[in-house]
Amino acid sequence: MFNKVYEALNWASSFLEESGREAKAGELLLLHVLGWDRTQLFMNMREDLSDKQVDEFVQVVKRHETGIPVQHITGYEEFYGRRFIVNQEVLIPRPETEELVEGVLKRVNKLFTNQDIIKAVDVGTGSGAIAITLTLEDHKIEMTAIDIAKESLKIANENAVALHASIQLIEGDMLLPLIQKGEKVDVVVSNPPYIPESEQLSDIVHDHEPHRALFGGKDGLDFYRRFMDQLPLVLKEKALLAFEVGMGQGESVAQLIRSTFQGAKVEVELDINGKDRMVFAELLGTSQKI
């Protein structure tokens, strides 16, 4: 079939494209099989592969062709320069969410300049990618991560331990654990389920990622509406709110926030592809909770 690195890549690209999959997956799977980084790959294109390596590579490429995500085959995804363990119990972290994290860090630095500790909560933490990244990037951020599923929290804990991040993990439904304890926070960040129930997803996503982390009711906005009932009970007078949203939902979510917090500074931000994927709101102490 093939025995050189470049031949393996060519075969995988053609095979996956013919199956309607992304050719790029072949490179990621070959790096996984060989234990190389991209620099090693490009420097060793004409190297021979062992029979064992060829067999393993063919096997993993064919597994992906059936619809299994690359990340479930390799067991991880890169996020903000760190490797996060993932499986079928958590949403695979996406590049758009890195932009959400970047937006939070930028605003936290501006909004809470004189605070030694910034209390933040990540709602629906999944793999823990948002919570862990925020606390590792800014040590002033004291992070609580909430998820409704024990299975997701187990993965988040594994990632926190592996990456030496100190976060508090809580099982619960959205912000209810904080409300029940009467706790107030400076920052609420969330990438909630926002896909409308009727939307068609690829089999890779629909069949292998947890539906509880994907679907947000008929129009995808159910969780944002629930947030509006809970947020006034947990946010301090000066606070930051950060949501990831589905494409085309930015203004709808922004309006929900404006209706809940009169006078809040609300911004809809576009991602690198020009899509409205982030909504930020700053409560400046003068914002009135309606």
**Mean pLDDT, range 81-108, rounded to an integer:** 95
Looking at the domain assignment, is residue 74 inside a domain? no
Q: Could you read off the pLDDT of 124-155 as tens digits, one per residue?
A: 999 999 999 999 999 999 999 999 999 999 99
Domain shared by 155 and 274, yes or no: yes
Dihedral sign for Cα atoms in the order 270, 239, 148, 233: negative
From 66, 81, 102, the end of a domain falls on 66
Global pTM exceeds 0.85: yes
Tell me: do 96 and 149 sit in the same domain.
yes
Binding site residues for S-adenosyl-L-methionine, as ranges? 124-128, 147, 191
Confidence at residue 87, expressed as pLDDT on a 0 to 100 scale: 94
Residue 211 belongs to a domain: yes
Q: Is 286 exposed, middle or buried (0-12, 13-18, 19+ CB in 10 A)?
A: exposed
Q: Give pLDDT tens digits for 96-119.
A: 999 999 999 999 999 999 899 999
Q: Is residue 250 part of a domain?
A: yes
Give 252-277 pLDDT, tens digit per residue: 999 999 999 999 999 999 999 999 99
222 and 101 in a single domain? The answer is: yes
Is residue 110 domain-shared with residue 201, that is, in the same domain?
Answer: yes
Contact at 8 Å (CB) between 15 and 61?
A: yes
User: Does residue 199 register a pLDDT over 80?
Assistant: no
CB 243 within 8 A of CB 190: yes
| Feature table: binding site | 124-128, 147, 191-194
Tell whether 152 and 201 lie within a shared domain. yes
40 and 184 in a single domain? The answer is no
Residue 76 placed within a domain: no
Q: How confident is the model at residue 285 (pLDDT cuts 50, 70, 90)?
A: confident
Answer whether residue 75 is part of any domain: no
- 129 with 12, same domain? no
Same domain? 34 vs 132? no
Task: Tell me the mean pLDDT in the region 68-94.
Answer: 94
Task: Show which of 66, 97, 119 is a domain's final residue.
Answer: 66
Q: Check whether 290 has a pLDDT greater than 90.
A: no
Number of domains in the chain: 2
144 with 30, same domain: the answer is: no
CATH number assigned to the domain comprising residue 145:
3.40.50.150
CB 289 within 8 A of CB 228: no
Residue 158 lies in a domain: yes
Q: Given this model, what pLDDT does residue 203 score?
A: 66
Residue 206, CA atoms < 13 Å, CB-side half-sphere: 8
Give yes or no: residues 23 and 106 share one domain: no
Distances (CA, A) of 266 to 147, 196, 283, 284: 26, 23, 9, 11
Residues 282, 166 share a domain: yes
Binding residues for substrate: 191-194
User: Do 114 and 211 fall within a single domain?
Assistant: yes
Is the residue at 72 inside a domain? no
The reported pLDDT for the residue numbered 193 is 83
* Residues in contact with 27: Cβ distance below 8 Å, sequence separation at least 6, in sequence order: 9, 12, 38, 41
Q: Give domain status of residue 77, yes or no.
A: no
The mean of the pLDDT values for the chain is: 92
**Range(s) of the domain holding residue 43:** 5-66
| Per-residue model confidence (pLDDT) at position 25 | 94
